[in-house]
Structure 1
């Protein structure tokens, strides 16, 4: 017999959060809202307190120029598509991470940054702000890194597309933990 557990507010928030990829309404995502969310999101676990992240905010006023510049790095036949794609969200937050000087530090920095992004997504969801973490090919393009002023010891972890929305996507079930869980056996 399975015991029913009481859902906490945090459990509910984690289970209800969805990536919002499209269907944004016209409500503006402000720099102030994003920085307020980041003030709490950066309390993610971070090895050695390195806090290896930094951010570039692209609001509604900057988005057309930003989209055109990023799209310009694509082949001619894809430029218009990519420009339209980058203009879909209400705002974009570029997340840049310091690379580690060893594989261990690299992994730790990425883990910390991913935790921070999850915090940001949960906090945004709580405010009815939709977010999706995008890792399109342009985040690996040296030309995009140059456009965004990414330094030699940094890398783009993703573009967080953001926007307010009216319709919530359907929940997609997860594989049960028991299907992916074992106990170490001394052999």
Structure 2
């Protein structure tokens, strides 16, 4: 598969097969993904992997965090259970964390670098037939969730990556042609 085919073919994955994702697989992709451009080679990232071993406990914390935010109507136990079942079916999670530099220009450079890393990671996994959903729900800012993951003050969660082999691959949605978005100085 060419780089162009991988970029155009990659899709966010919402539904996953039961096939486990191992820490070794993720480390293999990360070893290449860390070659994302990052100013001064600061490498402003760290990762928290949740696989088969910690998935049950982590899923409970994630679901509890989302419920605490009031995502579900009071008493709607069926919706809560549906979400619990969905989260517990995800084979693996990777939390991507960045130190928050107080200097706005460095903070922005770091966010861009970490975002480039996440895109690299998604493309590398996709090349191996593994999909991801880059999730940035409001729960990533909630103190209960941050404490459960030992996210320190001065750290930002860039995303919670849901990882697994796709149960389905959604069709390509059209994009605007670059010519529509390009102006000349």
Structure 2 residue corresponding to 1:16, chosen from 9, 17, 29: 9
**Kindly tell me: are residues 82 and 137 of structure 1, through their superposed partners in 2, closer, same or farther at Cα, counting changes over 3 Å?**
farther
User: Contact 1:45 / 1:112 at 8 angstroms: preserved in 2?
Assistant: yes
Instruction: Tell me which residue corresponds to 2:21.
Output: 29
User: TM-score with structure 2 length normalisation?
Assistant: 0.89
User: Contact 1:67 / 1:82 at 8 angstroms: preserved in 2?
Assistant: no
Displacement of 1:166 after TM fit? 4.3
User: Contact 1:72 / 1:79 at 8 angstroms: preserved in 2?
Assistant: no
Instruction: Tell me which residue corresponds to 1:62.
Output: 54
Displacement of 1:79 after TM fit? 5.2
Q: Which moved more, 1:141-150 or 1:160-169?
A: 160-169
Q: Distance in 2 between matches of 1:72 and 1:15?
A: 35
1:100 aligns to 2:63 (yes or no) = no
Report the secondary structure of 1:29's partner residue: coil
1:116-131 matches, within 5 Å, as 116-131=117-132
- Give the aligned CA root-mean-square deviation in angstroms: 1.7
5+ long unaligned stretches in structure 2: 69-73
Greater radius of gyration (CA): 1
Report the secondary structure of 2:160's partner residue: strand
**Kindly tell me: are residues 79 and 14 of structure 1, through their superposed partners in 2, closer, same or farther at Cα, counting changes over 3 Å?**
same
Report the secondary structure of 2:146's partner residue: helix
Q: Distance in 1 between matches of 2:62 and 2:169?
A: 29
Q: Distance in 2 between matches of 1:70 and 1:79?
A: 12
User: Contact 2:44 / 2:114 at 8 angstroms: preserved in 1?
Assistant: yes
Displacement of 1:101 after TM fit? 1.8
1:153 aligns to 2:154 (yes or no) = yes
Deviation digits for residues 75-119 of structure 1, max 9, x if unmatched? 375754543342231111011111112110110110000000000
Instruction: Tell me which residue corresponds to 1:71.
Output: 63
Count of aligned residue pairs for this structure pair: 176
Report the secondary structure of 2:35's partner residue: coil
Q: Distance in 2 between matches of 1:37 and 1:128?
A: 12
